[in-house]
Amino acid sequence: MEDKDNRNENQVQQFKQKFKEDEQMMEELKNQLTQDQHLSNSEKQLYQKELSNEINEIEQNINYMQLGAKKSGNDLKLQQQIELNLQSQQIVQEEQQKISQNKKLSPQQQYEQQILEMSDLIKDQKYDQAYQILENLKKNDMKSFNYYLEQVKQNLKNQNASDIQKQVDKVIIKTVDEVLYVQSQIQFMNYVQNDDQGWGQEQAFTNGQTKINYKILPNTKTLSIKFEAEFERPLSRPSDSQKVVYVKFKLPVISDREGYLYGIGVDRLEKDDSIVIFIESIQDKKDIQQRLDLNLEINKKNVAFDMKFMYFQIKPIGRDKSVLNAICNVDPNVRFLPQWLINFFIRKIGSYLMNKILKIAENIKGKMELNTQYNKIIFKTYKILNL
């Protein structure tokens, strides 16, 4: 019994220490807001986010301390600290309200606020919702919105602009570019998926639940492979969904092939119950490199292969069953072989690759591991290519 009381007392002390740290943090935030009477709108928005996070943490700590009080026989001092924490929560909420009511937002500030909201959405891979906000901004006043974006770009070059404003402006441009990029990828993927004319079928890999087709699409020289299959796995959300990987193929006789591949996952569960992954080569795409703060070069001794596009769409069709649709086009840049022979190998290797990817999807175990697997699926794809 004495050991149990000691454990409860230790737990209470831990809660008290945690509260003290939170209380100090809250006091620092309040002092900052009191001293900085002329905060810019961008700075106020950042403070608001900080305060919101603090409110959430306080709520969690209140729950923890109430639990500790219950276990320790409703310790009176702990109950008093809970009351203090509740008061701190109210103070923070009042500060938030003061900031938001300080002055009416200008049209430019409204643009800024909504694009920062888009930035929060794409952190959760919710690009469809972010694109809808962007479309609404354009629809309301296209000319004014485009002028605003030009002003933001100019401000990034302005040496007199504050560092925090430049940081916000950089996020704004990156967010708009990324949302437009993903939307263009979705539109092209939908176009290819809905195109049912002129596709040949790869019989060797086709069965009742798997379909593999091929076709030369406009503006491409090599075959594109379209793949559809069902697999026994439920669907879950991806996490941390952007990756850039370096891939190199050691080949006999001819020069090695290498390239940089950019992959991005999109959560479309609220749009059409699907998860989508886009992959493409970016060694020649300076606009994407700039958005990702990269400067990529290919070894002059090697030849760059071109992954023009690779799309994966995974969609549930039952409680424990999903369907995988994939489309890919790769140009290995082999100039001395006739195109018909290159396309023949693409048909065979592409079909083999898609079936290997399907086996990876079928072997994913459990929801938490599924999230981890989505994080690594792009790397596994290229590991297969090296076999």
Beta bridge partners of 259: 247
Question: Which range, 90-99, 106-115, 248-257, is most confident?
Answer: 106-115
Residue with the larger pLDDT of the pair 349 and 39: 349
H or E stretch at 1: none
- Helices and strands per DSSP (H, E), number in the chain: 11, 9
CA dist 44 and 35 (Å) reads 13
Q: Is 27 left (phi over 0), alpha (psi -120 to 50) or beta?
A: alpha
Q: Residue 99: what pLDDT? A: 56
Q: How far apart are the first and last CA of the chain?
A: 62
The two beta strands, 303-304 and 257-268, are parallel
Asked if 125 and 266 touch (Cβ cutoff 8 Å), the reply is yes
Q: Is the pLDDT of residue 103 over 70?
A: no
What are the domain boundaries of the chain? 1-73, 107-192, 200-381
CA dist 67 and 51 (Å) reads 24
Q: Is the pLDDT of residue 141 over 80?
A: yes
Q: Residue 79: what pLDDT? A: 60
Q: 3-state DSSP: the chain helix, strand, coil percent, rounded to 5?
A: 60, 15, 25
Q: Residue 378: what pLDDT? A: 35
CA dist 361 and 372 (Å) reads 12
| Arch. (CATH architecture) of 200-381 | 2-Layer Sandwich (3.30)
Mean pLDDT along residues 49-64: 63
Residue with the larger pLDDT of the pair 101 and 296: 296
Beta bridge partners of 49: none
H or E stretch at 351: helix 339-362
User: What count of Cα atoms within 13 Å lies in the side-chain half-sphere of residue 328?
Assistant: 27
Q: Residue 379: what pLDDT? A: 37
> Could you report the per-residue pLDDT of 264-280, keeping only the tens digit for each?
888 888 888 888 888 89
Assign 381 a pLDDT band (cuts: 50, 70, 90): very low
Among 38-42, 69-73, 169-173, the least confident range: 69-73
The two beta strands, 242-249 and 257-268, are antiparallel
CA dist 255 and 303 (Å) reads 6
Single pTM value for the model? 0.59
Among 30-39, 204-213, 349-358, 375-384, the least confident range: 375-384
CA 349 to chain centre: 30
> Could you report the per-residue pLDDT of 148-158, keeping only the tens digit for each?
999 989 888 88
Residue with the larger pLDDT of the pair 379 and 285: 285
Q: Is the pLDDT of residue 20 over 70?
A: no
Pick from 83, 65, 89: nearest CA to 11: 65
Task: Tell me the pLDDT of the chain averaged across its residues.
Answer: 72
Question: Which range, 81-90, 135-144, 236-245, 301-310, is most confident?
Answer: 135-144
> Could you report the per-residue pLDDT of 307-359, keeping only the tens digit for each?
888 888 888 776 667 788 888 888 877 777 777 777 777 776 666 666 665 55
Beta bridge partners of 287: none
Per DSSP, the three-state class of 39 is coil
Helices 41-71 and 76-101: angle between axes, nearest 10 degrees: 160
- Neighbouring C-beta atoms of residue 17, cutoff 10 Å: 10
> Could you report the per-residue pLDDT of 178-210, keeping only the tens digit for each?
999 999 999 999 888 888 888 887 655 555 567
Residue with the larger pLDDT of the pair 379 and 293: 293
Assign 371 a pLDDT band (cuts: 50, 70, 90): very low
Q: Where are the beta strands (DSSP E) in the chain?
A: 200-201, 210-215, 224-231, 242-249, 257-268, 274-281, 303-304, 306-316, 322-331
194, two tokens: 């809905």
Rounded to 5 degrees, what angle do the CA atoms 353, 356, 362 make?
145
Considering the chain, what percentage of its residues have pLDDT values greater than 90? 8
User: How far apart, in Å, are the Cα atoms of 131 and each of 84, 169, 241?
Assistant: 43, 18, 17
DSSP assignment of 204-249 equals: GG--SSEEEEEE--TT-SSPEEEEEEEES-------S-EEEEEEEE
